[in-house]
Structure 1
Amino acid sequence: MTVEKQAFGSNRMQTVTKLVPPDGGWGWMVLIGTALSNIFNQSMLSLFSLLYGGALEAMGHKTQGAAVVLSTMLFVTNFGGPIAGALVKLSSARVVAVAGACSCTLGIFFSGFSTNIWHLTLTYGVLLGLGLGFIQNSSFVAINGYFKLRKSRAVGLANVGTGVGQTVMPHLVRYLLETYGFTGACLILSSLSLHGICGTLLIQPVERHLKKIEVEVEVDETVQLLKESHKDIVIRKNSNTRNEISNVLGRRATDPNFKQQNGSENGKISNSTINVKDLKNENTTVSEPAAEKGWLKKMYDLFDISLLSSPRFLNIIIGTALSVTSIQNFSMLYPFFLQKVAKMNLHETAMCMSAVAGADIAGRLILPIFQDKYKIKARWMLIMTSVWLIVIRQILAYQTDFIVLIAMSCLYGFGRSMVIVARNIAISENCRPEQVPAAVGLGMLTMGIIVPPAGYFLGWIRDYTESYIICITAQNLLLIILLMTWVPDMILLWLKEKRENKKDLNHIQLS
């Protein structure tokens, strides 16, 4: 039952029932399903060098060849983001996630039969890449719908699956390669990837699980009166024109039925019924019937291309692309660095990679709690993480001792975790909820555009200079560019919020 009470003259408070995300409930099952899919699919990215390194060398390719295959996979993954965002709007997150999991399984399966780099590019690069793109977009959209207050923790928990996979899978891959060879290892890994399909089936529409809560909202008497008196007029908020109201009301006032309802004569509106002057501060207009959209306009709306008109949004998606490019290329380079520079064997290399993954898991569990507790924006978390990674990786580049590298791997993995957790949250914080699928897709597309040339260039630097230190320094330069573009913008936002808070405080004191 609706409860109303009068407050401050012409406004009143009304208790209404509102549907909100459950912030738990079936959302925990969605997290489990996403984590299960990530264990066997998303972890394949960090296993590339370990699993396919020997096969690439047998094909006669070095670091640059590996960069071609990996960059293709990353490009397809990120290019599939906007497609996945559109498909989520047209169908559901579950359908897109299941399709992505099936594509991943096929990609791993057929990659085991690759005889040249182009076969590997088609199977690992295209099939696996497209599947990962579908899973990343649809799973984040699903989690974003189920969680509001604990979104950062939820994304961190879902991504723990990737960390678990990166911890366990290197040892499994090493065992499979030594026991069954390259083809046998890929076939067994593809069978394990089938578990991802079961996980994605746990994604259900959030509408089935929304919670009902009662909230008090302020109802404007004038707008309420307008709605009751003219039920055939559609009211739309968030417009800055009121002339349309006057024009439409003027036309309606000449209608006989309108006069009879409102007790007006000679086409005049009675002030006792409605006073247009009272609406001068109301952002209300009358919506006109929408014209039929052309296919270009439909595509424009489907992919929410209007987001690209915002310089801040462009800055955000480019910055996140640079951060992801930097860490992904380091993940590809790190096993080669351990084997070629630190002179480690396959077992010691797997130990260092597991240390990175274990610390990554800890970071995904701890850092989101820290972020939620102190209400830190995702962009600030990425800025602090970038500084951390620059320092750690630059020190790590000069180390060769096994114990020191294990410790540095842990520090690196702990900081890297926040890039994975916060990148999509940083994008979603700067758009409306209904724009999240398209915004995440556009962010992935930006990564797809930036990653291949950047990855190829970084691989060329390594092969040309034959120096891993110079290559790691070049990867750190990408994070420095992020800091140069984000820090001034975040300072401007902070100053703007500070001025607005001060203005609101002065307004409250005066009133």
Structure 2
Amino acid sequence: MGVIEKNGKKYEFVAPDGGWGYMIGVGVIINLITTSTFVACYGMIFKDLFIELNMDSTGITFLNGVSAISAAFAGMIVNPLLKLLSLRQLGLVASIIFNLGIIFGNIFVNSKLSFFLCLGVLQSVGNGLIYNISCTILNHYFVKRRLLAVSFTQTVIGAVALVSPQFVKWNLETYGFRGTLLIISAVSLQNIIGMALMQPVEWHMKKVEVPEEIETETKSLLAMEEKGFKGEEDLKKVNKSETENAIKNPTEKFSVENPKDEENQCKKNFMSNIIDVSLLKTFLISNAAVGVALSLFSEYLFTFLLPQALYALGWNEGNIAWALTLNAMTDLGTRAFFIFMSGWLLNVGSHEIYVVGLVLALITKLGMLWSDDMLVMTVFITMMGIPRCTIMMLLPVVVADSVDPDKFSSAIGIVLLLFAFFNLTVGPAIGAIRDLTNSYSTAFYILSSCFGIVIMFWTIELIYKKNKHKRIPKEDSIKA
């Protein structure tokens, strides 16, 4: 966003919060439907293939780790790639990579190596690129109505996810494993259309006049801020020291750098293009990064293992498909709630809503684990759709509220990188424990404890920030 002056008036370019943004929303819906709708059904889709390839829980969780690190790598390199390709060109490349993984891999896969290469690498690299690009461009087009835009797009995706378990069940019964994958591959090809709709936000920004009152107020605030951080005496000292240094070392500014220094500088520039160093010092160790990544990992792995656990308890395909459908219904209802209550929820705060979702996730998972009755378990699985929606849908909103707009893409990449780290380290460990104990409950208890840890630390952070704001007026009054 920039400011221009025309006919004595100043204008500012702002995000459209509509216009072509609605078409961007359509493109994001298409992209995320094709990449995420069938994730909850992977346990059903690949059930026979897991047996055929002799893959136990350790192998499945390791596959999740490979997928996560591939998606994280793709998410991290979006920024440097956008300097070589336009946003739409990169999106089309991502769609091609994703579809190559699912079409030429999953349909003809007959070994662990080909399965890992196609599903774990190719498809996941495409998925990481598509997800980062979709979230970034939606974040650019919508600022004031961001929560509403995210809620609406995610609601449509949830509506499609509602029918996906029954759709997969019917296809498996009618066409078998390979036929089902062929149909899913045809669906995934539509993300090429979704990426074709992506246009740079600069093409559609609105020109808004800047009132003189706001301009004057902004200048005065900047002047006060400058005086507050660095008084006049400090400024004189800095200017004096800079002048003295310039007199003593007149050629320092124009000195030729050492080749090794230039090489080190090039390496630093290359790394800074991939990873924003400023984010590593602040965002990397925050709950908005570590907490979100750990919660996403726990929810994703729980969802992936749930069908296998239900098969082990003696549930048939129809019961599992029905439970997953009810889960998708509550997920959809929660997304619709976010649409109608977006204004009120915006005042509450995305971080606070996210923590409430984590509490519900912990309660529903423990409730399912503490019961052996199929009806009670189905009720808790149904209720899991509420926190699942919160964890999945609010991720880009929580990140966007934690960093500057120009750092959003890098921040998403960091979250994906942390998500991959948990999948590669904690995931296989949980899978190995499940194989050793022959108990899905043990694995689910460990995953539930991850939610408990995040809830504890994030609650402490929110309480600290709230009390800190309350203390500021008191301190000011004492000084006065």
Query: TM class, shorter-chain normalised?
Result: 0.7 to 0.9
Matches within 5 A, 1:458-473: 458-473=430-445
Distance in 1, matches of 2:220 and 2:393, equals 45
Deviations 1:475-509 (A, max 9, x none): 111111112322222222222222335667899xx
Alignment partners' CA distance in 1, 2:134 and 2:228: 31
Is structure 2 residue 152 aligned with structure 1 residue 157? yes
**Equivalent residue runs for 1:360-375 within 5 Å:** 360-367=331-338, 369-370=340-341, 372-374=343-345, 375=347
Distance 1:163 1:222, change over 3 A: closer
> TM-score scaled by structure 1?
0.80
Describe the superposition over 1:393-440 as per-residue Cα deviations: whole angstroms up to 9, x where unpaired: 111124454443443222110121011122232222222211111111
Aligned equivalents of 2:221, 2:78: Cα separation in 1: 44
Whichever of the two has the greater Rg, that structure is: 1
The one-letter code of the counterpart of 1:133 is: G
Q: Structure 1 residues 223, 358: closer, same or farther in 2, change over 3 A?
A: closer
**Alignment-derived partner of residue 269 in structure 2:** 298
**Match among 162, 170, 192 for residue 165 of structure 2:** 170
2:118 paired residue among 111, 123, 131: 123
Superposed, 1:431-510 pairs within 5 Å as 431-500=403-472
Q: Does 1:384 align with 2:379?
A: no
Cα gap change, 1:15 to 1:500, in 2 (>3 Å):
farther
Secondary structure of the residue aligned to 2:10 is strand
Post-superposition Cα deviations, 1:213-272, rounded to whole Å, max 9, x if no partner, equal 233212659999xxxxxxxxxxx9998462488459989xxxxxxxxxxxxxxxxxxxxx
Give the distance between the partners of 1:504 and 1:445, measured in 2 at CA.
41
Pair 1:19-2:13 in alignment: yes
Counterpart in the other structure of 1:259: none
The equivalent residue for 2:307 is 335
Equivalent residue for 2:96, pick from 88, 102, 107: 102
Distance 1:87 1:176, change over 3 A: same
Give structure 1 stretches of 5+ with no counterpart: 4-13, 225-235, 252-287
Q: Secondary structure at the match of 2:384?
A: helix
Aligned-partner SS, 2:208? strand
Aligned position for 1:85? 79
Q: How far apart are residue 157 of structure 1 and its match? A: 2.3
Match of 2:131 in 1: 136
Are 1:198 and 2:193 counterparts?
Answer: yes
Relative distance call for 1:40 and 1:165 in structure 2 (3 A) is farther
Seen in structure 2, the aligned counterparts of structure 1 residues 473 and 15 have a Cα distance that, compared at 3 Å, is farther
Corresponding residue of 2:320: 349
Tell me by how many angstroms 1:332 deviates: 0.8
Q: 1:373 to 1:90 in 2, by over 3 A?
A: farther
- Summarize deviations over 1:457-486 as a string: whole Å, max 9, x none: 222222222222222111111111112322
User: % of aligned pairs identical?
Assistant: 25
Q: Distance in 2 between matches of 1:238 and 1:161?
A: 48
1-structure distance, mates of 2:137, 2:227: 28
Q: What is the Cα deviation at residue 177 of structure 1? A: 2.3
CA 1:420–1:372: 2 relative to 1, 3 Å: farther
**Contact persistence 2:368–2:380 (CA under 8 A):** yes
Mark the CA change 1:425 to 1:221 in structure 2 (over 3 Å): closer, same or farther.
Answer: closer
Number of residues of Structure 1 aligned to a counterpart in Structure 2? 451
Counterpart for residue 29 of structure 2:
35
Match of 1:396 among 364, 368, 376: 368
| 1:141 Cα offset (Å) | 0.6
User: d(CA) in 2 for partners of 1:104 and 1:160?
Assistant: 23
Q: Deviations over 1:38-82 (max 9, x none)?
A: 222212322221111111101222322222222221221123211
Task: Provide the secondary structure at the position in 1 that maps to 2:394.
Answer: helix
Contact 2:283 2:289 (C-alpha < 8 Å) held by counterparts: no
- The 3 A distance-change label for structure 1 pair 23 and 504 is farther
2:392 to 420, 423, 430: 420
Seen in structure 2, the aligned counterparts of structure 1 residues 504 and 102 have a Cα distance that, compared at 3 Å, is: farther
Match for 2:356: what amino acid?
M
SS of the counterpart of 1:217?
A: helix
Change (3 A) 1:165 1:70: farther
Q: Which has the higher helix share?
A: 2
Q: CA deviation at 1:161?
A: 4.6
Secondary structure at 2:143 match in 1: coil
Question: Take 1:431 and 1:477, find their aligned partners in 2: how far apart are those partners?
Answer: 28
Distance 1:506 1:149, change over 3 A: farther
Kept in 1, the 8 Å contact 2:298–2:448? The answer is: yes
Aligned with residue 51 of structure 1, among 33, 40, 45: 45
Rounded Cα–Cα distance in structure 1 between residues aligned with 2:68 and 2:151: 21
- State the SS of the aligned residue for 2:77: helix
Read off the aligned partner of 1:205 and give its amino acid letter: P
Distance (Å, rounded) in 2 between the aligned partners of 1:126 and 1:193? 16
Q: CA deviation at 1:137?
A: 0.8
Partners of 1:134 and 1:238 lie apart in 2 by 43
Determine helix, strand or coil for the equivalent of 1:18. Answer: strand
User: Quick one: which of 170, 174, 180 aligns to 1:179?
Assistant: 174
